[in-house]
Amino acid sequence: MSLSTVEPLLKNLRVLELGHYIAAPYATRTLADLGADVIKVEPPGTGDPVRSWGIQEENGSLWWSIHGRNKRSVTLNLRDPKAPELVLKLAAQCDVVIENYKPGQLEKWGLTPEAFAKARPGMVLVRISGYGQTGPESKRAGFGVIGEAQGGLRYLCAHPPEISDLPSVRTGVSIGDSITGLYGAIGALSAVIAQRESGAQDVRVIDVALGESVLTMLEGIMPEYERYGMVRQPVGSRIPTASPTNAYKSADDHWILIAANSDRLFATLAKLMGKPYLATDPRYISNVNRLENNEELDRMIGEWVASSSADDALTLLEEANIPSSKIYTAADIAADKHYQARKMVTMIDDPLHGKVMHPGVVPMIYGIERDSQIRWTGPSVGQHTDEVLSELLKMSPDDVAALRKEGTI
Residues carrying an active site annotation: 177
Q: Residue 401: what residue type?
A: A
Q: Residue 293: what residue type?
A: N
Alpha helices in 7-138 (DSSP H): 23-33, 62-67, 83-91, 105-108, 113-119
327: contact with a second copy by CB under 8 A? yes
210: contact with a second copy by CB under 8 A? no
Q: Which stretch binds a second copy (CB under 8 A): 79-87, 135-143, 289-297, 386-394?
A: 135-143
CB of 312 to a second copy, least distance (A): 18
- Residue burial 125-163, b: 16+ Cβ < 10 Å; e: rest: bbbbbbbbbeeeebeeebebebbbbbbbbbeebbbeeee
- Under a CB-based contact definition with an 8 Å cutoff, are residues 159 and 8 in contact? no
52-61: long-range pairs with CB below 8 Å, 24+: 57/352, 57/353, 59/352, 59/353, 59/380, 60/352, 60/378
Looking at the Cβ atoms of 249 and 283, the one nearer to a second copy is 249
| 75 phi/psi in degrees, rounded to 5 | -85, 145
Looking at the Cβ atoms of 197 and 398, the one nearer to a second copy is 197
Looking at the Cβ atoms of 106 and 395, the one nearer to a second copy is 106
- The residues in 260-279 that bind a second copy, with binding defined as CB under 8 A, are none
Instruction: By CB under 8 A, name the one of 46, 79, 173, 201 that touches a second copy.
Output: 173
Instruction: By CB under 8 A, name the one of 92, 105, 255, 281 that touches a second copy.
Output: 255
- The residues in 217-246 that bind a second copy, with binding defined as CB under 8 A, are 217-228, 230-232, 234-239, 241, 245-246
Cα–Cα dist 15/124, whole Å: 9
Cα–Cα dist 375/368, whole Å: 12
Site string for a second copy, 85-124 (x = CB under 8 A): ---------------------------xxx----------
CB of 174 to a second copy, least distance (A): 7
Task: Read off the DSSP letter of residue 274.
Answer: T
208: contact with a second copy by CB under 8 A? yes
Looking at the Cβ atoms of 278 and 356, the one nearer to a second copy is 356
- The residues in 334-393 that bind a second copy, with binding defined as CB under 8 A, are 334, 336-339, 341-342, 344-345, 347, 353, 356-360, 362-367
- β pairing state of 255-259 and 324-326: antiparallel
Instruction: By CB under 8 A, name the one of 93, 102, 146, 300 that touches a second copy.
Output: 146
Which H helix or E strand runs over 390? Answer: helix 385-393
176: contact with a second copy by CB under 8 A? no
CB of 20 to a second copy, least distance (A): 15
